[in-house]
Amino acid sequence: SLMYLNEATLLHNLRLRYNSDIIYTYVANILLAVNPYHELNIYDSEHVKKYHNKSIGQLPPHVFSIADKAYRDMKLSKQSQSVIVSGESGAGKTESTKYIIRYLTESWGQGAGTIEERLVEANPLLEAFGNAKTVRNDNSSRFGKFVEIHFNNQFNVVGGFISHYLLEKSRICVQSKAERNYHIFYALCAGLPEKQKVSLYLKNITDYKYLNHGDVNVTTRNNGEDFKRMEASMNKLNIDSSERSNIYRLISAVLQLGNIMFQEDLSDSRGGSNVCDESKYYLESASRLLSLDETDLANCLTSRVMTTTRGGAKGTVYMIPLKPEQCANARDALAKAIYSRLFDAIVGRVNSCIPFKNSFNYIGVLDIAGFEYFRYNSFEQFCINYCNEKLQQYFNNRVFNQEQKLYEAEGLGITPISFTDNQDCIDMIEAKPNGIFDLLDEESKLPKSSPEHFTMAIHEKYGSHFRLMTPRKSAVTTYRTMRTEEGFVIRHFAGAVCYSTRQFIEKNNDALHTSLEMLVNESKDLFLKGVFCRDIESDKPKSKKANPAKLALVSVGMVSVLKLMQTGFPSRTSFKDLYQRYKGFLPEKLARLDPRLFCKALFRAVGMSDQDYQFGLTKVFFRTGKFAEFDQIMKSDGDSLKEMIAKVEKWLIRTRWRKAIWGALSVIKLHLKIIYRRHHRIVIQKHVKTFLAVRKFKHRYKGMAKVITLFKIINQMQDIASELEGNHYLNQVQDSDTKIKLLIQDIQNKQVDENYINTSYDSLMDTTTTQFEDLKKHLKNQRIAKEEERLKKLQEQMELERKCREEEEERKRKEDEEHKRREELEAKRKQEEEEMKARKLKEEEEMRKAEEQRKNKELEEQEARKKQEEDEERKRRLAEQELHDRELAIRIAQESGGSVVKEKSENSNSLNRKKSEKNDLSGYTYAQLRDIINTSCDIELLQRCREECHRRLKVYHAWKERNKQQSNTANSQTSDQRAPQAVYTEASARRNFPFPDPFNYLPNDKPQRFFRVPFTSGPTARPCGWWFAHFDGDWVVRQLELHSGRPPVVLLAGINDMDMCELQLQETGLSTRPGAEILPEAFEEI
């Protein structure tokens, strides 16, 4: 009934109602309950009868109304229904479950008093074993419970069944300081008779490790009274004293196991452990209570069995010793297994006491913990919140997805409601193989597992995931002091929760070793073996229909539900079902109506607005609470029903009368439409005939229009032909004009088709266009020819003038260049002459000095030679005297029979020969000299090799000159010359001129110079050819001879040395000869 539906108005409304002790509030078909924490007088039998067969919305919100709706929906749809009761710890889930069960059994449990009693009285027993004190609730259910109330085909209660889920096994061994273990442990220690306690080895609560870690002294609970209520529950469930003793014995065994401590066995080289001496009493007590051998139990707790082949009969068995921490884990795992299996057996025992007949359908009530978050959140909260994540996902799928899909299928056009999808959070927790659960299992299997390593593995894997963050990033300041390796924060659908991972591995280690399983199976205690070997599924009775029905999820998402309920239609039914349900209330003439018209008539009769309902394709949908109003009206007293029937008949008469009026108006409208159509039929015929005529002759007049356009081209062609020279162009135009006129006559007078017209037109168009282009081309060519002729004459005249001008400019330029070059060469020649004169003067001076030195040297040499000759004459005479003396001595010795002493003879070759001059090249061949010139990098050696090479060439040519036959003819003279005669004449004039010693004179560079000298013949020295030479420094490297009537001769150094000029540049005198030197470009051009 709120005007504005949002989160703020919802919370404010809940607060106002709670302050007035109105603890229940509807959100569509979802009931919100706020725990008042005190008794309210709204659950008695009168209230049960009051809500019997009442739709939601008829009476104030109540848990009985939800139960009644589940029953009515089961009866109407003939399908099983389920109700989920969810919330935080202490929200009152268990009490709400009791009231729902009570309402169902009391309202429709004819003869089912025992069933109701057993279902209700089973709660104290289940609470003793499954409930514990938490931070927020002293009697918190630490397991999920699903209670099934079964009905027969008459929809009466015939039986019940209880299933449990998610028992918090970690609480058996470890509790927080403000919490306790399960009630049964404290009730047993406080309420059991002293004699029985001694037989079970029970002591005070503070003596047991599994109990003294938590809050032992709780003032809000009486352990003795809890024991009495549990005993009373067992009595009503027919659990005898022998079975109770077995249960108590296993509970005591769990406490004894918790006090067994371990220490390292120093005598074991493998690093094993043994039971501490102070724990031997508890080991003995546990062994007796479990009917096990004490030694076997100790060995199984301190070691485990491993085989080489898993499950193999012939595998080798190894006993692996365990460390103290591993022994403690094995002990806790055994305690958890015994308690959890015992809890399974107790639930099975409760189910066996509940009567059960053949079931047709059932209503299931799921009591499960809601979303939990405390100051300190551990493994228990992580598992519970994970379960709520799965419930939220199912809630999204059923309440949002399927609801919107139904609206779309029925064509209601409802705007989709957006909601948060939590699939990514579920995947992060349960994904294979790297989900948080898998990472925890892998860490538990490690030899040295640690919470820090497990936590860092989570951050490393999901560090960038949206749902996970480090504690330092939490909005709660308490968690910001926690280190990264101590925990993690998950963004759940209901908010971010920080989990401490310090006890995750310890609480997750509940798997029994193979040795412990074998030990339990070998126990002599039949009850213990039965507890471990029970098949839980076999306890459940078979139902005719086991399909789960839709779940009314109420755990979360209220704001999104508000939006959906505000814009949607939560109640719906098919036309057929509505017809079958209410046709008995109406007379026969109304019941014969079509189901859709029947529903419409009912809604009109009860005065429902069009905004309160909407018709789909197969169903009718109601706004929130409107279907209940409609149902209430239909089930009212007889007078109201008669009044409603009268309204229905009145609405039908009015509807039929309106239909008759609309029928008459439709006939009149049809008559006018016929007149209108008859008038316009003539207009249509006129246009149709026009259209047919146009379509019949369209191609002819369109073709004629196209052909007529060709005359424009003909006129242009005539204008062009008149300008051209010759009459044959005009004749061609007249022929084309005649063809066009003939085609027009054919179109006018003959029945020609469109294809013929188009073909003829295209042909004429191509011909005309071609002729037109040809005429334009001829005219253009004619004009171009005339213009070209005029331009040619003008161009020739201009070209002639230009050539004359260019020739004059070129002549002047060449004259200027030649004059400049001659001036440069003349200046260079004069400079070289001056240098030559200076060098000659210097050389003459040097020659004079050298001549004086030579004469002095010759005098010295003559004196030395004369002295040497005198010394040699003296030595010769001395040698002859010594020879005569020796011969005389030999002769005397022979005559007297003596001997002659041998004397060392002077070796005439003992005189030291003068060392050969450096780089004596007299032993090199010409080829070797040429190779050195081409390959050597020694400048001095290279220069001397070139000098030696040219020296030999001079000798060769001098010898050749002396031995050739002299010829006086000019031709023979020029043919054998290696250079013009003027060059050799100049060279012979300089033959006796002393040149610098090549061994002492090395130029710093090699200037490239080019010369041209004519070959002359006859007494007048008439030129008969040209000789070109390229000097690289002092020697010719390229030589060219041009003779009239003969091919040119090109000689290269290194290839044609024998035929080239062997003279040095200074010998030829070309550098001082006027007009001999030319530019490099002139030489290269020739």
Q: Which residue has the higher pLDDT, 834 or 671?
A: 671
CA-to-CA distance for 681 and 683, rounded, in angstroms? 5
Which range, of 231-235, 252-256, 420-424, 500-504, averages the lowest pLDDT? Answer: 420-424
| Helix, strand or coil, per DSSP, at residue 55 | coil
| Cα Rg of the chain, angstroms | 67
CB 193, CB 224: distance < 8 Å: no
pLDDT at 675: 92
pLDDT at 901: 54
Q: Which two tokens stand for residue 286?
A: 């546990």
Quick count: other Cβ atoms within 10 Å of Cβ 586?
A: 21
pLDDT at 87: 79
User: What are the b/e assignments for 379-403, b being 16+ CB within 10 Å?
Assistant: bbbbbbbbbbbebbbebbeebbeeb
Q: Give mean pLDDT, residues 767-789.
A: 87
CA-to-CA distance for 554 and 551, rounded, in angstroms? 9
Q: Which two tokens stand for residue 500?
A: 């401490």
pLDDT at 512: 78
pLDDT tier for residue 965 given thresholds of 50, 70 and 90: very low
pLDDT at 302: 92
CB 1062, CB 1056: distance < 8 Å: no
CA-to-CA distance for 888 and 902, rounded, in angstroms? 14
Report whether pLDDT(550) > 50: no
Nearest to 536 by CA among 347, 366, 339: 347
Q: Give mean pLDDT, residues 366-370.
A: 80
Q: Give mean pLDDT, residues 255-276.
A: 89
> How many Å is the maximal CA-CA distance in the chain?
201
DSSP single-letter state for residue 524: S
pLDDT at 915: 36
Report whether pLDDT(177) > 90: no
Q: pLDDT tens across 1010-1033, in order?
A: 999 888 876 766 778 889 999 888
Question: For 799, how many CA atoms within 13 A lie in the half-sphere containing its CB?
Answer: 6
Report whether pLDDT(586) > 80: no
Q: Which residue has the higher pLDDT, 105 or 572?
A: 105
Report whether pLDDT(126) > 60: yes
In degrees and rounded to multiples of 5, residue 595 shows phi and psi of -55, -40
| Helix, strand or coil, per DSSP, at residue 574 | strand
Nearest to 454 by CA among 505, 413, 411: 505
DSSP single-letter state for residue 401: I
Q: Give mean pLDDT, residues 518-530.
A: 87
Q: Which two tokens stand for residue 246?
A: 């077995």
Report whether pLDDT(377) > 60: yes
In degrees and rounded to multiples of 5, residue 562 shows phi and psi of -60, -45
CA-to-CA distance for 25 and 31, rounded, in angstroms? 6
CA-to-CA distance for 649 and 590, rounded, in angstroms? 8
In degrees and rounded to multiples of 5, residue 1007 shows phi and psi of -70, 140
Report whether pLDDT(96) > 60: yes
pLDDT at 953: 77
Q: Give mean pLDDT, residues 41-62.
A: 86
| Helix, strand or coil, per DSSP, at residue 80 | coil
- Alpha carbon 494 to its chain centroid, in Å, reads 32
Look at the alpha carbons of 6, 7, 8, 9 in this order and tell me if their dihedral is positive or negative: positive
pLDDT at 569: 66
Nearest to 424 by CA among 454, 458, 395, 389: 389
CB 454, CB 439: distance < 8 Å: yes
The mean pLDDT of the chain is 80
User: What are the b/e assignments for 747-766, b being 16+ CB within 10 Å?
Assistant: beeeebeeebbeebbeebbe
Nearest to 552 by CA among 86, 62, 13: 86
pLDDT tier for residue 908 given thresholds of 50, 70 and 90: very low
Nearest to 247 by CA among 332, 171, 350, 142: 350
Nearest to 147 by CA among 93, 101, 116, 108: 101
CA-to-CA distance for 314 and 308, rounded, in angstroms? 9
Look at the alpha carbons of 52, 57, 63, 69 in this order and tell me if their dihedral is positive or negative: positive
CA-to-CA distance for 747 and 744, rounded, in angstroms? 5
Q: Which residue has the higher pLDDT, 96 or 987?
A: 96
> What is the amino acid identity at position 787?
E
pLDDT at 109: 75
- Angle formed at CA 993 by CA 990 and CA 998, multiple of 5 degrees: 110
CA-to-CA distance for 255 and 200, rounded, in angstroms? 10
Q: Which residue has the higher pLDDT, 1054 or 1040?
A: 1040
Q: Give mean pLDDT, residues 380-388.
A: 86
Which range, of 31-40, 303-312, 531-540, 936-945, averages the lowest pLDDT? Answer: 531-540
Sheet holding 1008-1017, edge to edge: 1049-1052, 1035-1043, 1022-1032, 1008-1017, 1077-1078
DSSP single-letter state for residue 1044: T
- Classify 37 in phi/psi space as left (phi over 0), alpha (psi -120 to 50) or beta: left
CA-to-CA distance for 322 and 451, rounded, in angstroms? 20
Report whether pLDDT(340) > 90: yes
pLDDT at 379: 86
- How do beta strands 1077-1078 and 1008-1017 pair? antiparallel
DSSP single-letter state for residue 270: T
> What is the amino acid identity at position 262?
F
Q: Which two tokens stand for residue 551?
A: 């779940």
Q: pLDDT tens across 286-295, in order?
A: 999 999 999 9
DSSP single-letter state for residue 548: -
Q: Give mean pLDDT, residues 630-642.
A: 57
Q: Give mean pLDDT, residues 6-11.
A: 77
CA-to-CA distance for 557 and 553, rounded, in angstroms? 9
What is the rounded end-to-end Cα distance, in angstroms, of the chain? 119
CB 89, CB 171: distance < 8 Å: no
> What is the amino acid identity at position 670?
L
pLDDT at 707: 85
